Amino acid sequence: MKIYLVFSCVLLLVTGCQKSSIEPYSYGLTESEAVLVTSAAGAKLAEAAPIVFSTAQGSQSVRVRVSPQVLKQVITGIGTSFTESSAFVLAHLSESERQRVMARIYSEQGANFSLARTPIGSTDFSVEGRYSYAASANDQGLEQFSIAPDRAGFDPALYPDLKSPDYDVLPMIQEAMAIKSDQGDSTLNIIASAWTAPPWMKTIDTWFIPGSKENNYQGTGGELKSGFEGLYADYLIRYLDAYQDAGVSIWGITPVNEPEGNSGQWESMHFTPETQAQFIKDHLGPKLRQSGHGETKLLVFDQNRDALEHWTDVIYSDPAAAQYVYGAAIHWYSSTVDVYEDVLEQVHQRYPGYDLIHTEGTIDDLGKAAPGGIGDPAGFQESGWFNNDSFWWQPNATDWAYTASWAPNANHHPKYTPVHRYARNIIGSLNHWVSGWIDWNIVLDERGGPNHVGNFCGAPIMIDRKTGEIYETPIFHILSQFSRTIRPGDRAVRVSVQAPMLEDDALHVSATRNPEGLLSVQLLNTQEIPITLSLEIGDQAAEVLLPANALQTVRVRLNNTAQGTQ
């Protein structure tokens, strides 16, 4: 008997079990409050039949166990981005149509997004690109600084189809905030990122230098000139001041978007982890505090997940820099299939006091010509992604690396299913300490633009600028489902899955609970056939039919709302 007890204790230690996870809680579950489904079969946040819990042991080979008492990170939100391209496309609608679209994005009856991102200056998703808020070269005092480009609108002589030529990215943000305010919910936290400093502050004295075939497409965005670090920090502070004066408080900021560069394809500027740490501790961090923006969340890095460990090791291990840092921002472009859960987990375990927020992801290179791909974006209607839900639910998309012989890790860039990429990434991120998830452009035109360098991408909402036809892609409904059921202040909880007969990518599950005890379980089935599973919560279970090629959300009220422990 004594030998058996010793062996059991050792086994528990090895498997990492805790007392709270092996003694089932009793939550007094009855019937689900809601079951929402978005699927390839045409469901869009549709209500499904409720599921009923009992104390009987689940009989399915696929078992999903949710542990609401094991609390993880606090959720910051789910959202999308304001860009000049999005505002430009919306400016082609009548005022009433535009307001309807914006309500679909930001109201409680719509997606109700709570987290957002916006650029500081121009990006590839600017209509003509190449603008900053300090256009006068060597304006050392930033005396000519102005955010006028963000509210200047567009020239109807150049764009005769415009319905609202005065509409721009700042009015778009203000309209979203007004929608939130009108419904009594001011939760819209905005993260701002510059793609580059004004060119005259950089070593290349221009926006970017494209690569060529001869140099393996390795262009550059340049770096800050020596001695201009303080001025660039002042530039970012002036942006925060100007937006605050316009009624927009910026919640978070990154030193620059994609500091490792983009091969000089569009506006960019380089930092290394070491130079970014130096910039933060000597300039941006102190200036944020001294200027009254000390509450603004400073997020480092802002690029692909595969390099996150190195950047956090350098910056977080420097106490003089780390004291100013709230967390790290990440993107997904190093793989269309890998969420890099191991990287996220390792960084959190090493630096548990720092947040992780996904700040950009999109269906990039929409229409990239490739074997079995979609073809020229000019043929968007014939090719299939506009007003055609099936495109988004099947492995039709390719990305920047699909046909690039020079791209690393080609196995990370197969043809892929857009909806799966989004839902898989959000679920995997939430399971591994990411608190917030932001999409890129919320609205683009029928081709996936405008983009001043031809980098066409997908968007949750796509609008034909000529006809005014509005297409809510399945990505919009997937993001809406996450946003409506995962709210700021919720907590991620532990989930485990046993599915011995399924392929590794077949089933993905995450769960969150709100302070009132409402549990939301997100289940993604990437298969073409349904999955029947046992959903186990505490000492009860329910049989769940998960439709083929679908995201299903099961919402359950926990009648015993003991908070548990992390």
Can you tell me the distance from the alpha carbon of 429 to that of 433, in angstroms, rounded to the nearest whole number? 7
Considering the chain, tell me which residue range(s) the CATH 3.20.20.80 domain(s) occupy: 77-485
The sign of the CA dihedral 73, 76, 80, 83 is: negative
- Of residues 218 and 61, which shows the higher confidence score? 61
Q: Does the pLDDT of residue 270 top 70, yes or no? A: yes
CATH of domain 77-485: 3.20.20.80
pLDDT, mean over the chain: 92
Residue-wise pLDDT for 299-339, tens only, equals 999 999 999 999 999 999 999 999 999 999 999 999 999 99
Q: Does the pLDDT of residue 373 top 50, yes or no? A: no
Alpha carbon 446 to chain centroid, angstroms: 22
Q: Given pLDDT bands bounded at 50, 70 and 90, which one contains residue 12? A: very low
- Would you list the DSSP string of 293-313? -TTSEEEEEEEEGGGHHHHHH
358 burial type by CB count under 10 A (0-12 exposed, 13-18 middle, 19+ buried): buried
Residue 78 and residue 480 in contact, taking contact as beta carbons nearer than 8 Å: no
Can you tell me the distance from the alpha carbon of 155 to that of 352, in angstroms, rounded to the nearest whole number? 49
Mean pLDDT, residues 341-366: 97
Considering the chain, tell me which residue range(s) the CATH 2.60.40.1180 domain(s) occupy: 2-74+490-557
Can you tell me the distance from the alpha carbon of 427 to that of 339, in angstroms, rounded to the nearest whole number? 9
The CA–CA distances, whole Å, from 205 to 137, 200, 222, 223, 269 equal 10, 5, 8, 10, 11
CA dihedral angle for residue 52, residue 539, residue 510, residue 313, rounded to 10 degrees? 170
Identify residue 455 by its one-letter amino acid code. Answer: N
HSE-CB of 546 using CA atoms within 13 angstroms: 28
Helix or strand (DSSP H, E) at 175? helix 169-182
Mean pLDDT, residues 174-190: 92
pLDDT over 90, % of the chain: 85
Both tokens of residue 429? 């991120």
Can you tell me the distance from the alpha carbon of 202 to that of 62, in angstroms, rounded to the nearest whole number? 56
157-173 as b/e, with b when 16 or more CB fall inside 10 Å? eeeeebebbebbbbbbb
The CA–CA distances, whole Å, from 500 to 22, 200, 383, 425, 545 equal 21, 59, 38, 22, 17
Residue 298 and residue 280 in contact, taking contact as beta carbons nearer than 8 Å: yes
Q: Given pLDDT bands bounded at 50, 70 and 90, which one contains residue 433? A: very high
CB atoms within 10 A of CB 373: 16
Closest CA to 220 of 274, 275, 273, 258: 258
pLDDT given for residue 378 in this prediction: 53
DSSP SS3 for 240: helix
Q: Does the pLDDT of residue 114 top 80, yes or no? A: yes
pLDDT given for residue 372 in this prediction: 46
pTM to 2 decimal places: 0.94
pLDDT given for residue 59 in this prediction: 77
Both tokens of residue 231? 């001025």
Q: Given pLDDT bands bounded at 50, 70 and 90, which one contains residue 381? A: very low
Q: Does the pLDDT of residue 349 top 60, yes or no? A: yes
Cα radius of gyration (the chain): 24
CATH architecture of the domain with range 2-74+490-557: Sandwich (2.60)
Q: Does the pLDDT of residue 184 top 70, yes or no? A: yes
pLDDT given for residue 562 in this prediction: 53
The sign of the CA dihedral 407, 408, 412, 414 is: positive
- Of residues 18 and 391, which shows the higher confidence score? 391
Residue-wise pLDDT for 497-543, tens only, equals 999 999 999 999 999 999 999 999 999 999 999 999 999 999 999 99
Q: Given pLDDT bands bounded at 50, 70 and 90, which one contains residue 236? A: very high
pLDDT given for residue 10 in this prediction: 32
Residue 494 and residue 67 in contact, taking contact as beta carbons nearer than 8 Å: yes
Question: How would you classify residue 507: left for phi > 0, otherwise alpha for psi between -120 and 50, otherwise beta?
Answer: beta
563 contact partners, CB below 8 Å, separation of at least 6:
69, 71
pLDDT given for residue 58 in this prediction: 73
CB atoms within 10 A of CB 463: 25
Helix or strand (DSSP H, E) at 553? strand 550-557
Mean pLDDT, residues 120-135: 98
Residue 563 and residue 517 in contact, taking contact as beta carbons nearer than 8 Å: no
pLDDT given for residue 5 in this prediction: 34
Can you tell me the distance from the alpha carbon of 141 to that of 70, in angstroms, rounded to the nearest whole number? 52
CB atoms within 10 A of CB 485: 23
Can you tell me the distance from the alpha carbon of 349 to that of 343, in angstroms, rounded to the nearest whole number? 10
pLDDT given for residue 351 in this prediction: 98
pLDDT given for residue 25 in this prediction: 85
Identify residue 473 by its one-letter amino acid code. Answer: T
The sign of the CA dihedral 275, 280, 282, 287 is: positive
Pairing outcome for strands 550-557 and 518-525 = antiparallel
Both tokens of residue 12? 């528990």
Q: Does the pLDDT of residue 382 top 70, yes or no? A: no
Residue 304 and residue 312 in contact, taking contact as beta carbons nearer than 8 Å: no
pLDDT over 70, % of the chain: 92
The CA–CA distances, whole Å, from 383 to 348, 354, 400, 450 equal 42, 44, 18, 18
